[in-house]
Amino acid sequence: MHARTLAWGGRRRSRLVVAVALAGAAIGLGIPGGTAPGDAADRFVAGGPTSERAPLRPEEAGPVLAAAGAARVRLGLPLPAAVRVDRVTDRLDGTTYDEVVASDAAGRSLHLQRFDERRRLVGAVSFGWQVAGGRPLADASSARARSVGLANALDLGVLGAPDVRPEPDGTGWTVAWPRVVDGIPVLGDGVRVDLWPDGRVHAVVRAERPLATRPAQVLDETTARQRATETLGDLFGRRAGQVAVSGVSLGWVAPNDAFDPTAPDAPGSTLRLAWVVEARTVGELADGLRAVKLFLDAGTGALLGGDVLR
Amino acid sequence: MSPGRWTRKIAVLLALMALAAVAAGPARAAYQATVDVNVSAFSFDCLTINDAYPGKMRAAAVAGFTNLGFATTSYTGAVFTRAHVLARTKADWGYYVHSHGDHYYYSPDGKRYAGFKEDAGLCTGARTVYSKEIAAVRAGRQSNLVIMSTCHLGETNTTMPEAFAIPKVRAAAGSWAGPNFYLGYLGEAWDSDEFAFETRFWSALGPGLGVGQAFDVAKLGSFNVGFAANWYGSYAWTGRAGPLPSGCTRCL
């Protein structure tokens, strides 16, 4: 027994020596330790689930259910027979929210609501595709007025006139307030209200991702355009003559792996200020590719990612 | 408990496990799905970079169809040709394509049909696969889940759903159009939006949520202004492979 204890102790020492040696080598080689956002062990991998969920403890669930009850009334959603509350970690967006899924007596999912850590409503959807209902809203102005009233009642923090778009085949309306910070659009963020034709709520989304510190110096538009032209030349090589810059504007963007398949599959969860350059294709290149977007760091001009329109 | 009772219990358990394996595995494996992804026009072969999105959407689609019980095979690059699509489509119960899509002019008929570009390993000059051609090969054969990850093919004038025998109706709230679902996008759809939407759609499918609810959940994300998706088929379908009406008992 004594010998065995000594043997275990010896193994422990050996493991410690190996661990110290590995740590020293890692530090020497500059390999980062710990987990950083986007590099966590549970990072999103394409083909895998976007989220993880775990039931909330009763003492945590209570305030969330209270918020859901109040919001449900304002949203005009039916009273459920049962609810389930989970804390959801969204690996794709890098966010965490509490989700309340309501079901009827038959166990069918009626609707869901999502709340952020401040118990603000960040998402809701009424299931069942309820196109048929009461008298349809007369026009886009009616859809806008209905959505403004709803957004105010839900304290969604909207300002200004929203964009209003009809859904296909008269299946409702989409009303959106894109997020703008100090006059600069935050791409993908904002508030959106989807209505059924008669004005009942189909869905509500509020996206408000964190922003990085604004660079001390921002490249001017001329310099950004020049950097973009150079980058397009690098990307398109001998076909660069078939792609031309069609728009340059500042925007807050999520860095992504659009042109770097070795980068993480999920976009960055903290948005950065960038020059967003859209370039359209012409000629035979346009047969398979309509446009690209480049995200150039507003301070350095470095490529942060982009987008592709096939 | 006597040894005989233990033996009987174990025998019953083994029999149930064998039945479950037969039901979940080989039977489902009969339902073919094809995932075609166009990469060549935006890869090192043609430009000086590799676009990351197609590979990610391909991985998501393969996992998604497989999770639903389809026998899934993916094609990309030189093997994703017009001839390949038309050769496989007759046996496809599920089909996914990520490519350039539009309502293309078909000169023999003097009219436009929904279609998408093959890859074929070509930088330019890829041929179009028209819905009319798919319809002719399939000849009305039933399909399950069809996703056009392209521009335009979710628009109301699309001719692609009928090519896969999916009626252009949205059967919901107690109605049923068969075990099928067609998903496409309106107007110009950027890759980042298609990737985010599809990833959330595949992830939402499963216990408790059907295809229509997964569509609703997928819309709860961050997208570029103007992004819009559309669907036809049965809202309350589970998405599970096969011809039987596997309605989602927990869907509205």
ipTM of the complex model: 0.86
Residues 149-188 of B with CB under 8 A from A: 150-151, 154-156, 170, 172-173, 186, 188
Do the Cβ atoms of B151 and A92 come within 8 Å?
A: no
What's the rounded Cα separation, in Å, for the pair B165 and B182?
Answer: 10
Q: What is the mean pLDDT of chain B?
A: 87
Which chain B residue has the Cα nearest residue A264? B52
Specify the residue for token string 């990085």. Answer: A212
Q: Which of these CATH numbers, 3.40.1350, 3.10.450, 1.10.287, 3.40.50, describes B28-134+154-160?
A: 3.40.50
pLDDT per residue as tens digits for the range B223-239: 988 899 999 999 999 99
Q: B212: closest CA among B187, B243, B175?
A: B175
Q: Is B61 left (phi over 0), alpha (psi -120 to 50) or beta?
A: alpha
- pLDDT band for position A239 (50/70/90)? confident
Separation CA B252–CA B120 (nearest Å): 43
Per cent of chain B over pLDDT 70 is 84
pLDDT band of residue B17 (cuts 50, 70, 90) is: very low
CA distance, residue B236 to nearest chain A CA (Å): 8
CB of B223 less than 8 A from some CB of A = yes
Range with lowest mean pLDDT among A68-72, A73-77, A261-265, A296-300: A261-265
CA–CA separation, B173 vs B234, rounded Å?
10
Residues 56-95 of B with CB under 8 A from A: 56-57, 59-60, 62-63
Contact between B47 and A235 (Cβ < 8 Å): yes
Examine the pLDDT at A90 and tell me if it is beyond 60. yes
- CA A191 to chain B, closest CA, distance in angstroms equals 10
Burial grade of A9 (CB within 10 A; 0-12, 13-18, 19 or more) = exposed
Query: Do residue B52 and residue A309 have CB atoms under 8 angstroms apart?
Result: no
* Nearest chain B residue to A130, by CA: B173
* CB contact residues (below 8 A), chain A span 3-42, against chain B: none
Residue A238's closest chain B neighbor by CA? B47
Cβ atoms of B145 and B68 closer than 8 Å: yes
Rounded to the nearest angstrom, the minimum Cα separation between A107 and chain B is 6
- For the ranges A165-169, A225-229, B13-17, B123-127, the lowest mean pLDDT is seen at B13-17
The answer to whether the Cβ–Cβ distance between A205 and B52 falls below 8 Å is no
pTM for the model stands at 0.87
Residue ranges covered by each domain of chain B: 28-134+154-160, 169-176+194-225+233-240
**Nearest residue in chain B measured CA to CA from A90:** B200
> Which A-chain residues 220-259 have CB contacts (< 8 A) with chain B?
234-237, 239, 254, 256-259
Q: Which residue type occupies A113?
A: Q
Q: State pLDDT tens for residues B36-72.
A: 999 987 776 777 777 899 999 999 999 999 999 999 9
Is the Cβ pair A109, B251 closer than 8 Å?
Answer: yes
Query: How many inter-chain contacts (A to B, CB under 8 Å) are there?
Result: 179
Mean per-residue pLDDT, A187-216: 97
Nearest to A237 among B48, B51, B155 (CB): B48
Contact (CB<8Å) B173/A128: yes
Burial environment of residue A276 by CB neighbours within 10 A (0 to 12, 13 to 18, 19 or more): buried
pLDDT tens-digit profile of B150-205?
A: 999 999 999 999 999 999 999 987 788 999 999 999 999 999 999 999 999 999 99
Q: Within a 13 Å sphere around the CA of A132, how many CA atoms are in the beta-carbon half?
A: 6
- How far is residue B233's CA from residue B172's CA, in Å, rounded to a whole number? 9
- B53 to chain A: which residues are within 8 Å by CB? 258, 308
* Least confident piece of the model among A166-175, A294-303, B8-17, B115-124: B8-17
Q: Do A310 and B208 touch (CB under 8 A)?
A: no
Burial of B86: CB neighbours in 10 Å, binned 0-12, 13-18, 19+? middle
Contact status of B127 with chain A (Cβ, < 8 Å): no
Q: Which residue is it, tokens 């496989």?
A: B88
Q: Which of residues 38-67 of A touch B (CB under 8 A)?
A: 45-51
**Which residues partner with B147 through β-bridges?**
B96, B183
pLDDT reported for residue A285: 85
Return the H-helix or E-strand segment holding B82: helix B82-88
